[in-house]
Structure 1
Amino acid sequence: MSAMTPRERIPLNTLAVPFGLAGLAEAWTASSSVLGLPEVVADVFWLIAAAGWVAMIVAHVVRGVRVRLPLAEQLRHPAQGPVAALVPVVGMLLGARLARVLPVAGSALVLASIAAALVLAGWLVARWLRGEATPASAHGGYLLPTVAAGLVAASAAAQIGWTGLGWAAFAVGMLFWVVVFAALLVRLVAVPALPAPLTPTLAILVAPPAVGGLAWIALTGSAEGPVVDGLAGLTVLLVAVQAALLPVYRRTPFSLGMWSFTFPFAAVAAFLTEVLAPAPVVGVVAAVASALAITTLVGWVAVASLRLIARSRPGRAEAGLAAADERVELRA
């Protein structure tokens, strides 16, 4: 594909960067609790995630002012549009953490993000119902506007004391997990394989049971019981599916789209850490192993991304955000 020029917007899939950083912070939060580490350890990762979120929003806004391609056109794109949900989703995660020290500001950010996610999800689902999305354009990112947003909203709402809202969001997330996952499975079986730039979005399929489990724990205050056990079993199965997909991932050229791997596996790490925490020895081992594993994954993706940007031509796509040919042509 041709390089992105100053007349084009930054691809929305770059929003996976702060999403992955927030997932890393969430995994460290779970591990720090089990290991008895000071909260400041996890707070460092949350600050990094917040900086990445703000920086990415600013980059998109600044570029938007300079180009002729309207944001609405990008949101209508069948591949790019659903990824926009990551802005409010990360806002929910950051708001829930902020509420621990600044309750009013944190709660306001969570509620504003939930409202924004609701509007975006309603608009996108209405477009899908009007037949404005084709089966060939569907990918793992289609889980973001309803499933990820709903389940993250459930957890965030519970953390700021809005339990009723949390249960409502949990119902939305679980319903659309069943519906969208089934639709994606049919698409992946019946339609030709995803193009290389979208292949990393298959990693998102592992996230719903883990994120749903974290939401259930936040809503009920318990990491035990049949619901948690069932979601843990589904998580393990989907991790096994991801392991079987490793040959496919290895054949996929590295791109900024690889950030799609980070949050799903961070959610898995955080959830399994919570589930195994009650076991004295196993819980500690799981906390250490999950924190190290997800930090290694995110660190590798971050370093590889910086190398990719460094290899790009000077001035190309502002800080090299288009250095990888990961984007889907917006006018395709």
Structure 2
Amino acid sequence: MQAAADTQDVVEKLPSRLAEFVGNMPASYFSIVLGLAGLGNAWRAATEVWQLPAITAELIYGAAGVVWATLIVLYIIKALLVPAKVAAEAAHPVQCCFIGLAGVATMLIAGGLVPHSHAGATIIFVTGFVFTLSFGIWRTGQLWHGERDPSTTTAVLYLPTVAGSFVSATVASALGHPDWGQLAFGAGMLSWLAIESVLLHRLLMGPETLAALRPTLGIQLAPAPVGAVAYIAISGGTPDIFVHGLIGYGILQFLVLARLSPWIAKAGAVPGLWAFSFGATAIATAPLRLIVHGDNGVLSVIGPVLFVVANLLIASLTLMTVSLLVRGKMFAPPPAPPSQPHVG
């Protein structure tokens, strides 16, 4: 009798416990998918350059797909059970932009599926693209209202339009539509240049970034190399001065962030550090894509180094995430006080 009563009690409390669990999952967790899918893309390029085992790239993409599907289901449950938390996240000056990653992650999964099912990849891409474009337009309109606290201006502003546009360009080209990709590339490129000036002004002239927000600086690494990958996709891969310049600027951002790593590390071991993953994997992928097309200059020297660094970073982030999961900290209530905004 007691066992039956205990079972009934567990069943009755299950919805509330599930709501609490998913309610603590920020949209920023979709950055894990970006890092894994980015590494899968880097391995596909490495397979062409060095004839590495093709199965490695597909296994990494498979892991990205599992994480993506899990997070999509959890976030849908979150929207159904605790819509107030989703609304609060959408209204948050920092967390809001991460919601757009759901669409970006979806398009990247479509890119991973292209060699296996063109039709399936197209359906998934269109779904992700529509969400990304819709969210980007909505969020940009909100930002244009003004009256934003400068202290909350971080690199997350790149996510809705810059990341979304560059990934749209890359995957659209992979699906055989480089002309559409060129339009998306232009949207991402000009959005990046406009937002970059705002972010640098805030970093140079504003107050010191709070420790909890410092991992978002990892996104600063992404625009140039992700843009380079997109440009290679829409242009056919022929090496030129423009794509070299994008990679060069990405390397500069990488070195600056490496110099800031002790300062950023004060945030602790947090999932938000996955913000570095997409840029790091893109800066490894772009040189390899150019080497495939005959670029045997300096990129053939630094390409292997960047590839190793990207693999070490993703391995470290994966181990950190597994550790947080085992210790029950991935879906725990955010510990940050109001003065230290929680970003996941």
TM-score normalised by structure 1 residue count? 0.88
What's 1:304 paired with? 320
- In 2 relative to 1, CA 189–286 (structure 1 residues): closer, same or farther, beyond 3 Å? closer
- In 2 relative to 1, CA 7–25 (structure 1 residues): closer, same or farther, beyond 3 Å? closer
Give 2:308's aligned amino acid: L
After superposition, give the CA deviation of every residue in 1:124-172 in whole Å (9 maximum; x if it has no partner): 0000011264322121111110111111111111111112211110011
The answer as to whether partners of 1:257 and 1:326 remain within 8 angstroms in 2 is no
The structure 1 residue matched to 2:331, chosen from 309, 313, 321, is 321
What's 2:191 paired with? 176
What's 1:130 paired with? 145
Q: Distance in 2 between matches of 1:251 and 1:35?
A: 38
How far did 1:326 drift?
Answer: 6.9
What's 2:47 paired with? 32
Q: Distance in 2 between matches of 1:201 and 1:136?
A: 13
What's 2:265 paired with? 250
Corresponding pairs, count? 321
SS in 1 for 2:128: helix
The structure 2 residue matched to 1:101, chosen from 107, 116, 140, is 116
What's 1:45 paired with? 60
How far did 1:174 drift?
Answer: 0.4
Q: Distance in 1 between matches of 2:335 and 2:179?
A: 43
TM-score normalised by structure 2 residue count? 0.85
The answer as to whether partners of 1:99 and 1:160 remain within 8 angstroms in 2 is yes
Q: Distance in 2 between matches of 1:190 and 1:58?
A: 41
What's 2:308 paired with? 292
The answer as to whether partners of 1:308 and 1:323 remain within 8 angstroms in 2 is no
How big is the alpha-carbon RMSD for the aligned residues of Structure 1 and Structure 2?
A: 2.5
Q: Distance in 2 between matches of 1:5 and 1:191?
A: 36
How far did 1:96 drift?
Answer: 2.1
What's 1:62 paired with? 77
Q: How does 1:264-279 map to 2 (within 5 A)?
A: 264-277=279-292, 278=294
The structure 2 residue matched to 1:154, chosen from 169, 186, 197, is 169
The answer as to whether partners of 1:92 and 1:153 remain within 8 angstroms in 2 is yes
Give 1:79's aligned amino acid: V
The structure 2 residue matched to 1:190, chosen from 197, 205, 220, is 205
Greater RCO (Cα-Cα under 8 Å, separation 6 or more) = 1
1:91 aligns with 2:101: no
Q: Distance in 1 between matches of 2:228 and 2:267?
A: 30
The structure 2 residue matched to 1:238, chosen from 242, 245, 253, is 253
Give 2:240's aligned amino acid: G
After superposition, give the CA deviation of every residue in 1:61-99 in whole Å (9 maximum; x if it has no partner): 223333252523321211111011111111111112212
- Gaps of at least 5 residues in structure 1 are none
Q: Distance in 1 between matches of 2:112 and 2:317?
A: 24
Q: How does 1:107-118 map to 2 (within 5 A)?
A: 107-118=122-133
What's 2:240 paired with? 225
The answer as to whether partners of 1:53 and 1:90 remain within 8 angstroms in 2 is yes
Give 2:287's aligned amino acid: L
Give 1:321's aligned amino acid: F
SS in 1 for 2:67: helix
After superposition, give the CA deviation of every residue in 1:2-48 in whole Å (9 maximum; x if it has no partner): xx955944222222111211111121122111112343321111111
How far did 1:289 drift?
Answer: 3.6
Q: What is the aligned-residue identity percentage?
A: 27
